[in-house]
Structure 1
């Protein structure tokens, strides 16, 4: 008999608390400032590879712990992180697991930030909120994982200028 496969996901409150923390930050911030705040506030770590610093969410114990922090040479545009393990093989159970964790995340977000804009592109599903500060929060349910993105006011403005 094979062992049942189990995956981990952040609680809805944990995901939304992370997004609220970044929403309350004093933007604009540089990548180094964001990394320092994440280490101080969440206990995440910074790993350096080939002279480049990468932010890692080592606290949640996910299969892939990296946190993307993207920006041009100036202020950061967005912070994207996994809210669950990355699933290697898509199964009915994995799809159910992701859906069962995504729905309460969206409900928690709706209680905090109001009604989301829902999209279903290419087998994925996303909920997004435009905040009064000009920032945007996006929760994603992809076929292999859950993720959350905080788009800074500067990142939203760049997208707006690009027509997204």
Structure 2
């Protein structure tokens, strides 16, 4: 996924009229982003098949009817970790963070044992983050409701 595309997706979710339910988020994604909904065992799942990635699913996490988080792949999952795959993911992460800095300012950078992340607070009260690991690179939008949950859990 191109850096501008990853950041455009975050901008899209940033301006959404939160709070929204999981069903409302899925409908917005279908109508505006061309994503699809697939049903398995009576449960609907949001899919970003536009990305062309091996795993196109979009994680939607919420409680009490309101969505709290959306998480999606920014690069395809790496099956075998090699020096080349690590450079590829690292370069992709760097480019997306640079694009994000141009849009949202300087991120809070965090290095964990196996993950590096860049995180921005947004004007809506939400948060945008991108996370890099050895096998993947993902983006997550925390809705204002999700940020409040994180604050209560002292994660933000």
Pick from 84, 90, 95 the counterpart of residue 93 of structure 1: 84
**Are 2:95 and 1:119 equivalent residues in the alignment?**
no
Higher strand share: 2
* 1:60 maps to which of 33, 51, 58: 51
Aligned to 1:83, the other structure's residue is in SS state strand
8 A contact 2:67–2:146 mirrored in 1: yes
Q: How does 1:1-164 map onto structure 2 within 5 Å?
A: 10-164=1-155
Unaligned runs of 5+ in 1: 1-9
Question: In the TM superposition, what is the alpha-carbon distance from 1:73 to its structure 2 partner?
Answer: 2.7
Tell me the TM-score normalised to structure 1 length. 0.93
Per the TM alignment, residue 93 of structure 1 is displaced from its structure 2 partner at its CA by 0.6
Normalised by the length of structure 2, the TM-score is: 0.97
C-alpha distance in structure 2 between counterparts of 1:73 and 1:55, whole Å: 19
Whether contact under 8 Å (2:74, 2:138) holds in the other structure is yes
Question: 1:123 & 1:154 partners in 2: Cα distance?
Answer: 27
Q: Which runs of 5+ in 2 are unaligned?
A: none
* Cross-structure match for 1:6: none
